[in-house]
Structure 1
Amino acid sequence: MISFASLQFFKKAHYFSTKSLIRTMPSSTCMQILEDCILFKNLPLGSQIHSKIMVSGFAYDSFLSTKLITLYSLCGDLSTALTIFELFPTCNVFLLNSMIRGYSSNGLYPEAISLFHRKRIEGLLPDSYTFSCVLKACALLLDLRQGENLHQLAVESGYDADTFVSNSLIFMYAKCSSLEEAVRVFDRMPQRDVVSWNSIISAYALNGFDLDAVETLSEMIENGLKPDQVTIISILTFCSTIDIVVREVHGFVLRNGVETAAPMIQNALISAYGKCGMTEGAQRIFNGLVWKDKVTWNALIASFAQNGLFEESLQLLRHMKVCRLDLDVVTYSGIISSLTQTSLSNEAMMVFDELLNAGLKPDVVAIASVLPSISGLDYCKQTHGYSFRHGLETDRRVRNALVSVYSKCGSIQYAKQVFEAIRDRDVISWSSLVVGYSQNLYFVESLETFREMMLAEMEPNPVTITSALSACAGASGLRLGKELHLWAIKNSFEGQAFVGSALIDMYAKCGRIKNSRTVFDLMDDRNLVSWNSMIGGYAIHGLAHNALEIFEMVTKPDDVSFIAALSACSHGGLVEEGIAIFSRMKEFKLTPRESHYACMVDLLARSGRIEQALALVRTIMPAQASVEIWGVLLGACKVHSNLEIGVYTGEQIIESGSANSGYYVLFSNVLANFERWGDVEEMRRRMKEKGVRKGSGFSWIEVNKRVHSFVAKDRTHHPEWESLFKVLKFLGEQMKGMYC
């Protein structure tokens, strides 16, 4: 049903579009019509009124110009809005606010901030609304330093107690992950409105303090303020993983009778129940609604997809078609995003293909959602090309996803190129490259990127810290690892399961197994990764009995748990214990994978049971052995001087077409141990024919908080190689002098 205001507007629109403009129309009428144009985003009629204003001598009316700037900005014609602003003889605060809001509404946040400073220098005094607009721009830029400067200016201008400015400050600090400052602003407010409480609740929730957000909501109610739609949706959006909170909020909504009056709340409840894994609750709300829009359908579809109910989500999708609801990109994107987040990559790609087959054009959200599900480099390049051709590639979300996917595909150079093209990098941009380098074993580069991130004053998140710790583990960067540990303690990250697991792994690989155990014992929130990391840490230190002691404490071990335990048995020479653990996989309904067989081959071969290991490879393994397994067996043949099986194993590796020079060198050494020099020469000839080259040796060392790597026969790899070799030459001469 059309409202009375809408009806009146359309009457005016029809009148001015069919008749000539009345020359005597007063400015008040122009103002009223412009307000209607802004409300309904009617640029054609607004342009006609603009023409009338120009010919009627109202061009320098600041109120009309303010409305025109707002209209053109809102409709995306920023150049016309800027022309009106720049040509106005004397700028006032209303014009300034309108132009700043215009920049911000079009995503030009730096321009909004720059205009504020320029006009302030020219002597124009901002008001509380000006500060609110510019602080919002800082928040959306995640520019904490600029926000802090604006906070100081607001205090100097006497707006530190202003409710609107304080609300904007809370929002800015929350977005920039400076929760302590947001709380400080809130506590100092002399008067608080519902927006103030909503802002601090969102601040807690946005920074992961869900329980504090809920407690603040209770405090708000105790202070006599009734939560509005924004409050409820904020709690449901950010605290949706706590099922009791969702149920209590739902009860509050029912008791206060706001459910039927707020469709957005209904949709938020459906989404929240889905995120908690309570799809029945989501379905119940959906079934009880008389009127459902596309957002409602999308919420339920996403709820099913998030919980692995792939077929149910597709059935809902098809049912939407039966109900003649137009399926849009948002519907498909919601399913793709949910499937991607639950690691159902193949299913996500199927839905993406269905989106394309439906004739829809993927938008930024769809591309950013499907990219993490891509596993092939060629498909990644095709998606990248599509994004570039359709102007989607410049969006930061897409570029962040591209950095991650290129890294996952092993193309770290492409990932680096995409990263360098990101101008407005956020913590996800930096973290994606840190993770990418670490995943591809470029540990030094990963730590260097992390260092650049810190220099750029970008606050790392738990993912960044976890990846940097993994790089420290790979490069044996103990000092930096300790500093990251202290940072994690200071920022309350140490207790998080994945950060704690990374600390355990880092200390273990840096030779500090006691520190690993200390971190493990102090962890309140251990997950299976934490237990596996501790088992693996003991394993690489040869402390097999300690590893098995931890393994026995795990209630539901997974594949990785058994790999770590078997590795511990292998390093500790516990053959019988290893065989028993391998047999226990059936108890937990786990099917041995190639990694488990590789551990068993290593266990048997290390202990000298090479024939038994070969029998395992030939007869028991369900699939053909990989090159890695043959390599393990070949290494054992060298240690235990078994020429017959060594030759057989070496031939298997060569026939596989492997280009790993290490296996050829190992096979050559086995032959050399038995003085079969002719075969050794033949091996070198075959390496030359296949173009297999022995890789250069390299090492690294940590000095002054930086990891330096050195590659054999490549002096230019280090930027200070000339100075280093001068010192090396001097030391060599000193050593010679000692023996002369």
Structure 2
Amino acid sequence: MRRSPAGLYSPREGGDLRATERLLPLHQAHQSLLPQRQHVGGGGDPRRVPGTQRLPPQRDNQRAHLQWPAPASRCPLLQEEQGEILAPNSSTFSCMAKALPDLRRGRQLHALSVTSGLGSDVFVCNSLVGMYAKCDSLSDGVQLFERMPQQDVVSWNSIISAYANRGLHQEALLKVREMVGHGVLRPDQVTLASALTACSSTETVREAHGYIVRSDLQSCSTVQNALISAYGRCGEIRQAGLIFRSSVLLDGVSWNALISCYARNSLFEESFRLLQEMGARGLRADVITYSGIISSLAQAGRPKEAVGVLRQLLSAGLAPDAIATASVLPAVADLRWAGHCREIHGVSFRRGTGSDRRVANALVSAYGKCGMVGGAWHIFETMEGKDVISWSSMVAGFGQNGHCREALELFSRMIMAEVELNPITITSVLAACAGVSGLRQGREVHHWAAKRGLDEQTFVGSALIDMYAKCGRIRDARKVFDQMPEKNLVTWNAMIGGYAFHGLGEEALEIFRGMEEPDEVSFIAALSACSHGACMERFHVSPREGHYACMVDILGRSGRLERAMELVRTLPMEPSAAVWGSLLGACRIHCNLDLGIFSGAQIIGHGGDQGGSGYYVMVSNMLAEFGRWREVESTRQLMSERGVKKGAGCSWIEVNKQVHSFVAKDREQHPEWGSLFRLLVFLSEQMKCM
């Protein structure tokens, strides 16, 4: 893979000396706002501000290293101040609001602006609204906006873009309508671009388009590009193409918008055709062009092609930016390519994009899906400015890798940190509750979600059904199912799977018959609950590997091992470990040693470890039951040679509102293992006397 040179980003040069001078006494008077650090970088005069002249003589004794404008991770570092204290002005507060890295310091700055008499300044308030939105405290930003005695167009743009960036599209559009309704200020091109970002239906896009025409802003390139993107999101490809072709001034953003429009609607051939046409017209595709295609391919379930486009980007001599990196990581995670994940992490770190929150969040999620929860945790702990996506990705990573207790503990930290939760967070923590049968915690999360109306979200409801079913409360699961206003395939499959988990085949079939268009997962869940598979032909579903594995399991458990073996031989694809594993389990139940050895050999006899330690242990236990100790020793030796380790058994119990876990051969893990062991010995002695 071709590598671009490191050092993609360099610090911005230049600055405002007057603003810098005002920042120096502000920091001295309020040291708690910014963290103190030692000057790093070796040589050079720490009194110099990059891109400015030497500070005046009266400030020569100040020791500071300023980089202006300062990024969030490098706030001005000031240590000494003597002489006259200068009063900060609105420009000072605006610059500080852009540089502050977290909500706590932002609130301190807000309080300082009020005590300085600038709490009602429009310029300061606009910057603070943007700061609150950046720090994921939209409620504080909205409260400040509503209390402003005077608002200008920038004020409205700040709050509208804050809503749109958080995905609160209805609220963003309501603010636009409120702005228009006041009749004092007219939306400008920035307002309309933000409004179009919030439009999620064809009707709202057309409404905004009509207002743009009436306001004579349709010739503005920013608005035109936003219209192309908005129509593309709604699937109105023809309308997006008309706007593109009617544009007088087509720039790279226009081409990117239309290419992304085609890619988003899975018309990837058209996207690549436009990419070639763009080059033929002398316009060079940039990183944004490729990023849109990568993101769309990843979301369309075509991860290998997404990685292929990234290779094209590198071959074109371009360096992936934060958006391209964050777009390709989900594709790498879907492929479970741990090596690629590490490589992308290393490259992003060297190029300076690793600290970008979007990249960090994508890395946390990718590492979690690839089974490297340690790497995910390292990134999560070291990243600055965590948002709800950061926390949710880490909670999900713990749950996906069986660390359910850690997921619940992190969720508690999330609540303590006052992070605004979203449906993804609730879904992830409910899965963790299901993993440890934490009924009490699951109910608490349910009540918390219900108070905020999140339980009506389809995916939250589906996670609740799964949680209650796995915690042994199938009636509660059915109650949630019946009360859901809207159901999707995940909801129906969760309810069928819940009944199957409890061995209630008739109830599972009842739910299955109520589905209009079952998918592959629906059939797998139904086949797991019963032995009736004739319904597949009715819905014209092509059987997949999972369906065949279920049928082999059904036939085998019912004692029809010859019929199950015949089905395996006639499969239209190569039988997987799941298929042979189903037959192996049935052979152990019905004591068919010969067929069991044959099935086990298909899984582990050809050098594969696709089934993990479970199949090795199953074969070994089956041989032991028949007294074949030599073969048992050979199987264990094979496990050792291949580095396959049997996972330690673990169980959970909830006592006094706390979940306790017990791991086999690791008694020291529990803080009270000594007293527990003594009690166990006492009970054992009592049982012997009975």
Global fold match (TM > 0.5): yes
Q: Offset of 1:514 from its aligned partner?
A: 2.1
- Whole-angstrom distance in 2 between the partners of 1:398 and 1:63: 32
- Say which of 108, 111, 120 aligns to 2:75: 111
- Say which of 395, 400, 408 aligns to 2:369: 408
After superposition, what is the alpha-carbon deviation per residue over 1:638-678, rounded to whole angstroms, capped at 9, x for unaligned? 333445533443443442445554434434554565xx42x
Indicate the residue corresponding to 1:646 in structure 2: 596
Indicate the residue corresponding to 1:89 in structure 2: 58
- Whole-angstrom distance in 1 between the partners of 2:482 and 2:98: 43
Closer/same/farther in 2, CA of residues 180 and 663 from structure 1, 3 Å limit: closer
With 560-569 and 362-371 compared, the bigger mean Cα shift is at: 362-371
- Whole-angstrom distance in 2 between the partners of 1:329 and 1:66: 38
Indicate the residue corresponding to 1:461 in structure 2: 422
Aligned 1:545-556 pairs, distance under 5 A: 545-556=506-517
Asked whether the 8 Å contact 1:340–1:372 carries over to 2, the reply is yes
Closer/same/farther in 2, CA of residues 397 and 631 from structure 1, 3 Å limit: same
- Whole-angstrom distance in 1 between the partners of 2:569 and 2:82: 80
After superposition, what is the alpha-carbon deviation per residue over 1:681-724, rounded to whole angstroms, capped at 9, x for unaligned? 43333322442665432212345655433221122334x1xx32
Task: Give the RMSD, CA atoms, in angstroms.
Answer: 3.5
Say whether residues 1:682 and 2:631 are aligned partners. yes
| Amino acid across the alignment from 1:582 | M
Say whether residues 1:269 and 2:238 are aligned partners. no
Closer/same/farther in 2, CA of residues 287 and 616 from structure 1, 3 Å limit: same
Say whether residues 1:339 and 2:297 are aligned partners. yes
Identity of aligned residues (%): 51
Aligned 1:589-628 pairs, distance under 5 A: 590-619=541-570, 621-628=571-578
Q: Offset of 1:493 from its aligned partner?
A: 2.3
Asked whether the 8 Å contact 2:49–2:68 carries over to 1, the reply is no
Indicate the residue corresponding to 2:458 in structure 1: 497
- Structure 2: unaligned runs, 5 residues or longer: 1-11, 24-45
After superposition, what is the alpha-carbon deviation per residue over 1:592-645, rounded to whole angstroms, capped at 9, x for unaligned? 1111111111222222222222211112x1122222222222222333344553
Asked whether the 8 Å contact 2:70–2:99 carries over to 1, the reply is no
DSSP 3-state at the match of 1:126: coil
Asked whether the 8 Å contact 2:497–2:525 carries over to 1, the reply is yes
- Whole-angstrom distance in 1 between the partners of 2:249 and 2:408: 54
Indicate the residue corresponding to 2:533 in structure 1: 579
Say whether residues 1:729 and 2:682 are aligned partners. no
- Whole-angstrom distance in 2 between the partners of 1:286 and 1:174: 32
Q: Offset of 1:120 from its aligned partner?
A: 13
Indicate the residue corresponding to 2:432 in structure 1: 471
Indicate the residue corresponding to 1:28 in structure 2: none
- Whole-angstrom distance in 1 between the partners of 2:75 and 2:13: 26
DSSP 3-state at the match of 1:89: helix
Say whether residues 1:698 and 2:644 are aligned partners. no
After superposition, what is the alpha-carbon deviation per residue over 1:27-55, rounded to whole angstroms, capped at 9, x for unaligned? xxxxxxxxxxxxxx997xx9xxx9xxxxx
Q: Offset of 1:296 from its aligned partner?
A: 0.7
Asked whether the 8 Å contact 1:664–1:683 carries over to 2, the reply is no
Aligned 1:295-310 pairs, distance under 5 A: 295-310=253-268
> Which structure is higher in helix share?
1
Asked whether the 8 Å contact 2:22–2:88 carries over to 1, the reply is no
Greater relative contact order, per chain length (Cα 8 Å cut-off, separation 6+): 2
Indicate the residue corresponding to 1:507 in structure 2: 468
Aligned length: 645
After superposition, what is the alpha-carbon deviation per residue over 1:127-174, rounded to whole angstroms, capped at 9, x for unaligned? 444444434444xx3x33333333334444444443334333433444
Indicate the residue corresponding to 2:143 in structure 1: 184
DSSP 3-state at the match of 1:701: strand
- Whole-angstrom distance in 2 between the partners of 1:695 and 1:214: 53
| Amino acid across the alignment from 2:367 | Y
User: Normalising to structure 1: TM-score of the pair?
Assistant: 0.79
DSSP 3-state at the match of 1:699: strand
Larger Rg: 1
After superposition, what is the alpha-carbon deviation per residue over 1:269-322, rounded to whole angstroms, capped at 9, x for unaligned? 111111112111111100101220111111111111111111101111100111
- Whole-angstrom distance in 2 between the partners of 1:550 and 1:510: 20
- Whole-angstrom distance in 2 between the partners of 1:119 and 1:454: 40
After superposition, what is the alpha-carbon deviation per residue over 1:175-233, rounded to whole angstroms, capped at 9, x for unaligned? 44444443333333333322333233334333333223222222221211321111101
Q: Offset of 1:259 from its aligned partner?
A: 1.2
- Whole-angstrom distance in 1 between the partners of 2:574 and 2:161: 55
| Amino acid across the alignment from 1:597 | Y
| Amino acid across the alignment from 2:125 | S
- Say which of 293, 307, 324 aligns to 1:349: 307
- Whole-angstrom distance in 2 between the partners of 1:62 and 1:149: 23
- Whole-angstrom distance in 2 between the partners of 1:552 and 1:208: 36
Asked whether the 8 Å contact 2:616–2:635 carries over to 1, the reply is no
- Whole-angstrom distance in 2 between the partners of 1:729 and 1:368: 53
Asked whether the 8 Å contact 2:173–2:199 carries over to 1, the reply is no
Indicate the residue corresponding to 1:74 in structure 2: none
Indicate the residue corresponding to 2:31 in structure 1: none
Aligned 1:63-462 pairs, distance under 5 A: 79-81=48-50, 87=56, 89=58, 105-108=69-72, 111=75, 124-138=86-100, 141=101, 143-224=102-183, 225-237=185-197, 239-260=198-219, 262-374=220-332, 375=335, 376-462=337-423
- Whole-angstrom distance in 1 between the partners of 2:397 and 2:577: 26
- Whole-angstrom distance in 1 between the partners of 2:391 and 2:112: 31
Closer/same/farther in 2, CA of residues 123 and 244 from structure 1, 3 Å limit: same
After superposition, what is the alpha-carbon deviation per residue over 1:484-529, rounded to whole angstroms, capped at 9, x for unaligned? 2233223332222222221221111111222222322333343221
- Structure 1: unaligned runs, 5 residues or longer: 1-40, 51-60, 68-76, 570-574
With 121-130 and 413-422 compared, the bigger mean Cα shift is at: 121-130
- Whole-angstrom distance in 2 between the partners of 1:109 and 1:406: 24
Closer/same/farther in 2, CA of residues 221 and 78 from structure 1, 3 Å limit: farther
Closer/same/farther in 2, CA of residues 361 and 652 from structure 1, 3 Å limit: closer
| Amino acid across the alignment from 2:534 | A
DSSP 3-state at the match of 2:517: coil
Asked whether the 8 Å contact 2:19–2:92 carries over to 1, the reply is no
Closer/same/farther in 2, CA of residues 694 and 178 from structure 1, 3 Å limit: closer
Q: Offset of 1:264 from its aligned partner?
A: 0.6
Indicate the residue corresponding to 1:21 in structure 2: none
Asked whether the 8 Å contact 1:566–1:582 carries over to 2, the reply is no
Asked whether the 8 Å contact 1:65–1:84 carries over to 2, the reply is no
Closer/same/farther in 2, CA of residues 292 and 704 from structure 1, 3 Å limit: farther
DSSP 3-state at the match of 2:653: strand
Asked whether the 8 Å contact 1:687–1:693 carries over to 2, the reply is no
- Say which of 660, 664, 669 aligns to 1:717: 669
DSSP 3-state at the match of 2:563: helix
- Whole-angstrom distance in 1 between the partners of 2:181 and 2:379: 50
Asked whether the 8 Å contact 1:104–1:137 carries over to 2, the reply is no
